[in-house]
Amino acid sequence: MIEQSHADVAVVGGGVAGMVAANRLAQLGVLAMVLEQGESERYLCNSRYTGGTFHICFRDVMSDENALTQAIIESTAGFVPRALAVAIAVDGRRLVRWLQDEGARFMKASGAEYHRWVLAPPARSRPGLDWEGRGGDVLLRTLEANLLRRGGSVVRGARARSLLIADGQCRGVIAQRGGQEIGCRTRAVILADGGFQGNADLVKRHICARPERLKQRGAGTGRGDGLQMALDAGASVVGMDRFYGHVLSCDALVNDRLWPYPYVDSLATAGIVVGPAGERFVDEGRGGVYIANAIAQLADPLSATVIFDESIWEGPGRNGLIPANPHLPAVGGTLLRAHSLEALASELGIAASALASTVRSYNQALEAGTLISIAPLRSASRYPPRPIACAPFYAVPVCAGITNTMGGIAINEHAQALRTDGSPISGLYVAGAAAGGIEGGPALGYVGGLAKCGVTALRAAEHIARACGATPIAA
C-alpha cells in the first residue's frame, strides 16, 4: 500500500458537496485532499448534470428561517429531526452567498419562487442531456480551481474502499487507484460520494425489486461506497427506501433524448396514473417524486400509464421550462391519442370497461368534492386535479426516473456520522446525498438536493476546523 499523508482531511467525492467542503476547509486553514473516482478532467457526477436550482422545499432559500424550518418538517411529516431542519433553513442563504464569493453566478430562471436562485449559465430549454458549460459544470470547475489555488489537491481515478479506524475514531481512508492501494492517514474523513442509485444490488435491496426497469436520470456514478464504508465502521442509516426522481416516458430507457428532460410530472399530477389493469394506485396530488417512487414499487415498474385529456395536454402539459407538450412527441416519446376511452384502452391492452370505470369514478368524485374518499385518495392542496372529460384522450406509458437516493448515513447537525446509539463517530463526516434523514420519509418530502449538499458540506468543514483548532487563511 502506498502511503499518502499530505492532507489533514480526505474528502471522498468531487461533486458539489465534496468541493464545497474542501474549499471551506482550506479557507479555515485545514489542508484537504479530494479523492474522486472519475478519471477525466470533467468526471461525470450528478453535480455536472444538475439543473442548478437552489431552493428549500420549493421555497426561496432567502426566506425566513423559521418558515423554512417549518416547511421542511411539514413536507416530510416530521421525518427530519428539528436540528437538521434548522441547519438547512438557517444556512441555505449563507451557502448561496458563500458560493457567490467563490465565483458562482446565479440567475432567476422563471417567475416561480423556487427559481430565484439558479446557477448560470442555465441549462438549455430543450430535451435531453445538456451539461457541458452549464451551471453545474462551471461551478465544479470554478471550485476545483479555487481549491488548487488554496493548496488543496484532487486525486482522480481514486475509488475509496475502506476507512482507517483506530480506537473508535476515523483516521483516514484507503482508496484504489491504478491497481494499487493508497492509504491516506488524516485527521478526519468526509464522505461526499453521493447516493447509491448506481448500485443495482443496493437499489434492489432497498428501493425496487427490478432496478433494471428504472431509468438512471443522473450520472449513475453514486455506487454507495461511502455508505458501505460507514456501515463497516458502525454507522447507522436512515430512510433507505426513498429516492428523488421524476416520471419519465418509458421510451427514455432506449431514447437518450427523453432524459433527464422532458419529464411528465405535470401530466401525472393533473390527470391520473393507472396500473396494468387500468386501476389507480397512487395519490397523484402528492407530486412527481412521490409518483415515481410508487411506480418503482410496482411488481412491474414498466406497467404504469398516465391518462389525461385534451384540456390537460394543452394546459398543465405546457407547464415547466421543458414541458411535455410539445417536446415529448417531438423527440420520439410515445403519446397515444384516441377519441374515446374505450379506443385508448384498446391501444394500451387494458380492458375498456376497467379504464372507463376508473375515469368515471375519478370524475364523479372530483365533481362531488369527495376525492379524499376514493381509493387511493386524491389530495388537491399541492396539485389541483383536473377532470378527464374533453376528447381526445391521451396516454403516456411511463417509468420511474431515479436521480439520486434520499436515504443514507445518519448524521447530526454538524454532519457527523452517527452510530446506532446516536453517538457520533469521531473523525467521520457525511455531506450531500450520502447523508440520510434530511428528506424523504413516508411523506417523501423533497427538501432540495443542492441545498442539502452545500449546507452539510459547510457544516462538516467548519466542525472539523474547530476540532483541529485551525486558523483561517485568506480566501
Beta carbons of 11 and 428 less than 8 angstroms apart: no
Cell numbers linked to 327: 417536446
**In this structure, what DSSP letter does residue 339 have?**
S
Fold (CATH) for 243-402? Flavocytochrome C3; Chain A, domain 1 (3.90.700)
The verdict on whether omega for the bond into residue 376 sits within 30 degrees of 0, i.e. cis, is yes
Tell me which H or E stretch contains 317. Answer: none
* 224 vs 242: CA distance, rounded Å: 14
Residues contacting residue 102 through CB under 8 Å, at least 6 positions apart: 23, 142, 143, 146
The domains of the chain are located at 2-240+406-468, 243-402
The pLDDT value recorded for residue 442 is: 92
Query: Per-residue DSSP letters for 32-67?
Result: EEEEES--STT---HHHH---B-EETTEETTS-HHH
Read off the amino acid at residue 139.
L
In this predicted structure, what is the pLDDT of residue 475?
46
CATH fold for domain 2-240+406-468:
FAD/NAD(P)-binding domain (3.50.50)
> For residue 315, which of 324, 305, 304 has the smallest C-alpha distance?
324
Residues 6+ apart with CB under 8 A from 358: 272, 274, 278, 279, 280
Contact between residue 219 and residue 46 where contact means Cβ atoms under 8 Å apart: yes
Indicate if 243-402 has the same CATH topology as 2-240+406-468. no
pLDDT of residue 5: 65
Q: What is the mean pLDDT of each run of 10 residues along the chain (475 residues)?
A: 79 98 97 97 97 97 98 97 98 98 96 95 89 97 98 97 96 95 95 98 98 97 98 98 98 98 98 98 97 98 98 96 96 98 97 97 97 96 96 98 98 98 98 98 95 98 92 58
Residue with cell 465534496: 18
The answer to whether the CB of 362 falls within 8 A of the CB of 374 is yes
pTM of the entire predicted model: 0.96
292, 282 contact by CB (below 8 A): no
Rounded to whole angstroms, the Cα distance separating 285 from 429 reads 36
Nearest to 428, CA basis, from 140, 87, 164: 164
Minimal CA–CA distance to 214: which of 239, 238, 256, 246? 246
Report the distance separating Cα 453 and Cα 449, nearest Å. Answer: 6
